[in-house]
Amino acid sequence: MNACSEQCLRVLGVVRGVITNNYYKDFIQFAVLYGSLVYGVFGPLSDVDIAVLFRDDVNVIDVLPMFISDLALALGVPEDGVDVAVLNDPLLPFEVRFRALAQGVPVYIGDRGVFIREVVRAVSLYGDYQVFLRVNGFNELIRRRVGELRGSTR
């Protein structure tokens, strides 16, 4: 987990307040702040990246739009300035899941056991993915193809 800058800590506090001072804590297992804000490269064109695991009985489609709207209002940014990665989505790329859970900063943890399980799962999946790429030579294939593309544009 990364350490937060002063700006990151301010945003973290606002996001935590939106979750805990509203009814969202009843719907959310945990939330993590990640992305450029946490990595220290937040700029005027950056958005606020938050990964959220909703409880199993929550209809995400009902909750997510209002959650994004409330976050944007509290942060003083347009709604498209808030990017929420829904960790319940089985199609969420595991690279995003890994970056959020292994490199992000927890904002709210409703169930510590669930949070730890998901972090371990994300790290394990990402490790398996890296082994798969290495064993099958995909990294070298990608490097070679990018080199070919660079050579063809000159």
pLDDT tens sequence across 56-109: 999 999 999 999 999 999 999 999 999 999 999 988 888 888 889 888 999 999
Q: At what angle do helices 6-20 and 60-75 cross, to 10 degrees?
A: 130
Grade residue 22 by pLDDT with cuts at 50, 70 and 90: confident
Asked which of 50-54, 99-103, 147-151 is least confident by mean pLDDT, the reply is: 147-151
Top pLDDT among 131 and 151 is at 151
CA neighbor of 17 nearest in space, from 58, 70, 84:
70
- Are 58 and 92 in contact by the 8 Å Cβ rule? The answer is no
* Domain assignments of the chain as residue spans, ordered by start: 6-152
Top pLDDT among 153 and 57 is at 57
Return the amino acid letter for 114: V
Q: What is the mean pLDDT of the chain?
A: 85
CATH number, span 6-152: 3.30.460.10
Whole-Å CA distances, 44 to 41, 48, 53, 90, 139: 10, 11, 27, 31, 33
Asked if pLDDT for residue 117 goes beyond 80, the answer is yes
Residue 110 pLDDT: 93
Return the amino acid letter for 44: P
Asked if pLDDT for residue 119 goes beyond 80, the answer is yes
